[in-house]
Amino acid sequence: MTLIFIVSACILLLGVVLFVRAIRGRQISSNQHCRACKFDLVGLGLNRDSLCPECGKPIIPNTPTIQVGLRKRRPVFATLAVLLILLGGVGIAWPKVSQLPTIKNIDWYAKFPESMLLKLEAGGDKQALQTLHDRLIPGTLSDQALQSLITRSLILIDDETIVWDKRWGDVILYAFIMEKLTDEHLFQVMERSYQSRASIHDEIDMDTEQVAVWLNIDSPPNGKSDPNFEMKLAQALVPGVTFPDLPTPYQLRIETRLPHKPGPRERRGGYGAIGVHDPDKPGWWLPFPYSGHGMGGQMRVPKETEEFEAHFEAHYLMYKDDRLFHEWSESIVKHVRRVPNPEYLERVKRSPELEALVGTITMRSISVPTQLDEARQHDRIMNGSPGITAVITSVASDMGLLGELWFDNGESTLLFAPIKLEETKENHHYSLSAPHEYDKKGQSWIDWFDRNKQFWEVAAENNSVNVIYKPMHTMAASHPQLKKMIDEPIVFKDVPINIQVPQQRDVHIGRNGPIEEHWGMENKNQPEVGVRYSSEEYKRLFGRGDPAHGELITDSEEESP
């Protein structure tokens, strides 16, 4: 505001100076003139009785009847000066004027033409982008402007130096659904919506014969749209339905292959497919999905093979209605060699950076099933895969977790499950459902809790349990996706416990399908239908407790029983 005031004051002062000079005028003569009619008196012998030959008025020397010099006013400069005075005055008064409701509530950008908005956006004006974005779903954005936005969004997708603005993803999604993409642009969107990442260790041990491999199919960081925009667009296109699917004619099938055996007689292995083309069903594929896919396995490598190449493949087939519309492939070749004592990953030890990261990782409440005999009577419960707990991260980091999770009830410890968190993603929930070795033949996850009934009785009395992460870098040989692991033990103290009981519940089949009755494990305390609770009552009666933050375990804590 101070800068605006200074500039406005300078403009106002300049306008005043120009106005004064314009009114005073430019000097066009230095002779004597009749003051009445401006007649030039050069060459006339003047005395006290002289009269102006032009107008007849007295012209007496050394009196006001004679004007020395003549000036001509400059109306153009005067007009310009008035404009500058007005501009400067408005600038000085603007901080006050702009707060008036009649001025403050005007959406000036909404009044700008598309051509001006596009130029402003190209210069980095985010409000101009938002205004253009707001015209997508109402359909008031012209095709010409939409094509300009599409071209720019596809350029930004390839710029890895920027933080992706999901409004550009909304542009791509809208154009995709409304079939406003040219074939060239559509193929670009298709081929950028997924990326393949092959994982295999570059170096393996001299005696290793079974090598772990992994192929991830997911979306690149740039390109994603806002889920809220997707829902608004779906509701606009399918009115009257609360949670409609976006109507799209496209289906996608991804065929993947992992390497099987290296050498001159290499055979492909580990075949998998994602998506099935069915021309009798509506399309379902949307660009830049949030969920990814992966497949992994083991490949046998003879010990005498010192070096080899591992070939990964992903083949994409996109269908429109009943015909193959577009297809493309990605091949990845990884070179592997044997070395003595390879370092499979970087092990991050105690440091200020690690301590700061661990403090942002939390553990969600533990779900403990009860009434196990009744639970065994329902196949859906026995065969289910419940979310027992979850690791929650609030920041992104390239450090992951690799090791085991243990429960500690204050009297004893209990191995829960191995954990492999490839990286800590921002606001990511890593759900853990399978207790350690529960899935033996003829057993279910319920049996694991039954075998450890005494442990959970003590934990239930405390209403909480400690969860301990014990790093195990020896597991790295089987997890090539992980490049950097937290190699320090972490404790999540006083993780709250939720007691669960078997209950019957109504489940929707499909998003808008019929309702069926299913049995499942539910939290023991549930709000009663039709009963109002204050926020304090609700938290006290049904609160699940706040997640427990992670803490690095000190040497003294490790030595304690």
Q: Are 129 and 188 in contact (CB under 8 A)?
A: no
Query: Would you state the pLDDT for residue 264?
Result: 53
Vertex 262: Cα angle to 260 and 263 (nearest 5) = 145
Q: Pick from 88, 104, 120: which residue ends a domain?
A: 104
Q: Is 81 helix (H, G, I), strand (E, B) or coil?
A: helix
pLDDT of residue 13: 83
Residues 182 and 205 in one domain: no
Shared-domain flag, residues 45 and 188: no
- Crossing angle of the two packed helices 126-134 and 166-177, in degrees rounded to 10: 30
User: What is the spatial distance between Cα 285 and Cα 4, in angstroms, rounded to a whole number?
Assistant: 51
Same domain, 536 and 394: yes
254 contact partners, CB below 8 Å, separation of at least 6: 194, 217, 273, 274, 275, 293, 314, 315, 316, 317
Same domain, 488 and 366: yes
Are 77 and 157 within one domain? no
Q: Are 133 and 170 in the same domain?
A: yes
- Residue 52 exposure: Cα atoms within 13 Å on the Cβ side: 19
- Report pLDDT for 433: 81
Given the structure tokens 């375990």, which residue do they identify?
Answer: 553
**pLDDT value of residue 436:** 65
Cβ atoms of residues 111 and 131 within 8 Å: no
The CA distance from 509 to 492, in Å, is 37
Three-state SS at 250: strand
Q: Whole-angstrom Cα distance, residue 41 to residue 32?
A: 6
Same-domain pairing of 223 and 172 = no
Residues 6 or more apart whose CB falls under 8 angstroms from that of 125 comprise none
Say whether both 331 and 464 belong to one domain.
Answer: no
- Which of helix, strand or coil describes residue 459? helix
For each of the chain's 561 residues, which pLDDT tens digit applies?
A: 566 677 777 887 888 888 887 777 777 777 888 888 888 777 777 777 788 888 888 888 888 888 887 777 788 778 887 888 887 777 777 666 656 665 555 667 888 899 999 999 998 899 999 999 999 999 999 999 999 999 999 999 988 888 899 999 999 999 999 999 999 999 999 999 999 999 999 999 999 888 999 999 988 889 999 999 999 999 999 888 878 888 888 999 999 988 876 655 555 667 888 888 888 888 889 999 887 888 888 888 888 889 998 889 999 999 998 899 999 999 999 999 999 999 999 999 998 889 989 999 999 889 899 998 998 888 888 877 777 888 888 888 889 999 999 999 999 999 998 998 887 777 778 888 878 665 566 677 888 898 899 999 999 999 899 999 999 999 999 999 899 999 999 999 999 988 888 888 765 554 555 666 778 888 777 666 666 767 776 666 665 668 899 999 986 555 443
Residues 114 and 56 in one domain: no
User: Among candidates 120, 96, 124, which has minimal Cα distance to 108?
Assistant: 120
Residue 298 CA to residue 213 CA, distance in Å, equals 6
Residue 40 DSSP code = B
pLDDT digits (tens, 9 = 90+) for 118-174: 999 998 899 999 999 999 999 999 999 999 999 999 999 988 888 899 999 999 999
Domain of 213, in residue numbers: 195-338
Our count of domains for the chain comes to: 4
Q: Return the pLDDT at 493.
A: 95
- The residue among 149, 165, 192 that closes a domain is 192
pLDDT recorded at residue 504: 82
Pairing of strands 389-393, 361-363: antiparallel
Q: What is the pLDDT of residue 17?
A: 82
Query: Could you tell me if 401 and 546 lie in one domain?
Result: yes
- Residue 319, classified by CB atoms within 10 Å of its CB into exposed (0-12), middle (13-18) or buried (19+), is buried
Contact indicator for 195, 160 with CB cutoff of 8 Å: no
Quote the crossing angle between the two packed helices 166-177 and 227-237, to the nearest 10°: 30
Q: Give the torsion sign (CA, 20, 23, 24, 30).
A: positive
Please tell me whether residues 242 and 144 are part of one structural domain. no
What CATH number is attached to the domain comprising 225? 2.60.40
Residues 419 and 522 in one domain: yes
**pLDDT value at residue 37:** 85
Nearest Cα to 206, choosing from 342, 105, 393, 340?
Answer: 340
Query: Which residue, 69, 86, 104, sits at the end of a domain?
Result: 104
